[in-house]
Amino acid sequence: MREDVFKLCLAEIERHVERLFENARLEAVAAGKIYARVPYLEDLFPVEYKSSLFQRQVCRALAAREGFRQLAPAWASDLPLSSTDIEKLICSKNPAMSLVGYFAASLAACNWAPPHPPFEITPRG
């Protein structure tokens, strides 16, 4: 039963991300652009490219954000997903927030895919 619920949630997230990509593609084409923004991550992708690779990456990023939300210390902000938001946290004057930014940068460098050390281990090196 639990596995069925998980599969349903995953399928709904995938459909949500697919709709976001299609909307981004349509908006870019309507504006005469050849690139669109990857939802949540804000990177660019060519509008003529079938974006399933990018869609999987966004789904992994959203899963990483939710996993972080469940396990992160109470003081931590949401896990940033876009390069701009990650950089803002890394450059924060608050060292704790910088740690969240570095953690997000590390996850992004791994394409948001497991295995990745959990947040509580990452600052220890």
Cα(48)–Cα(28) distance, integer angstroms: 11
- What's the alpha-carbon Rg for the chain, to the nearest Å? 16
Do residues 14 and 55 lie in contact, with contact meaning Cβ atoms separated by under 8 Å? yes
102: closest CA among 114, 121, 87?
A: 87
Q: Look-up: residue for tokens 């949500």?
A: 16
User: Taking the model in full, what pTM does it have?
Assistant: 0.89
Number of domains in the chain: 1
Cα(81)–Cα(79) distance, integer angstroms: 6
pLDDT in tens, the chain (125 residues): 667 777 888 899 999 999 999 999 999 999 999 999 999 999 999 999 876 889 999 999 999 999 999 989 999 999 999 999 999 999 999 999 999 999 999 999 999 988 888 888 866 65
Domain of residue 53, residue span: 2-124
> Cis (ω within 30 of 0) for the bond into 115?
yes
